[in-house]
Amino acid sequence: MRAHTKTTQDSLSPEGALTILKEGNERFLKNLRTNRNLLQMVNETRDGQWPFAVVLSCIDSRTSAELIFDQGLGDIFSARVAGNVVNEDILGSMEYAIKYAGSKLVLVLGHTKCGAVTSACKKVKDGNITALLHKIKPAIDRASKETRAEVDSPEFIEKVAELNVFEAMDEIRERSTIINGLEKEGKIKVVGAVYDVETGLVTFFED
């Protein structure tokens, strides 16, 4: 498997980019990995990079997008922050990936048993963590209306983790005229997903 080139990147549709990630997760679940010469990919990308997607995921040590989706050097941009929340820097990074580096897909990847989501549900307040966890509050408020589960129960926490993905997708579209405009033109796609830390399965939310 070789690194992506401008030609292969240009030839991909947003749906094609999504298919690559889905197929990669299928290989991951079967413990199959694409045969890659990583040093060769280092050489192939030394003069430039043409990632087909940008993935916003949590800093959780179990959620490396490159591993979960069986991707190599130069394949995806990876933006990571606790709770996969959106901020100005994340948005700017995504806009660069999409508008200037040619990526075709924005994926917001949440995960089960998320420590940030759990802490937000338990109203943890400590240093700069307080402001970060506050960004998950819209998902908590939404979950409170959609489920009768106790706020600190596993059921409620997993519901918040899922809704937090949708909240992030909405925020990306609302706050980024660049991404929103390109998506409306059909040039890119914004998709959500949740990774199950127990099974390795990624469940995609395409609508």
Each residue of 131-190: pLDDT tens digit? 999 999 999 999 999 988 888 899 999 999 999 999 999 999 999 999 999 999 999 999
**Smallest Cα–Cα separation from 54: which of 8, 5, 108?**
108
Summary mean pLDDT of the chain: 94
Q: Where are the domains of the chain?
A: 6-205
Which residues have C-beta within 8 Å of that of residue 36, sequence separation ≥ 6? 1, 72
Per-residue pLDDT at 207: 63
Per-residue pLDDT at 145: 92
Q: Which CATH superfamily is domain 6-205 in?
A: Carbonic anhydrase (3.40.1050.10)
CB 190 within 8 A of CB 106: yes
Is the pTM higher than 0.85? yes
Residue showing tokens 């997993």: 158
The length of the chain is: 207
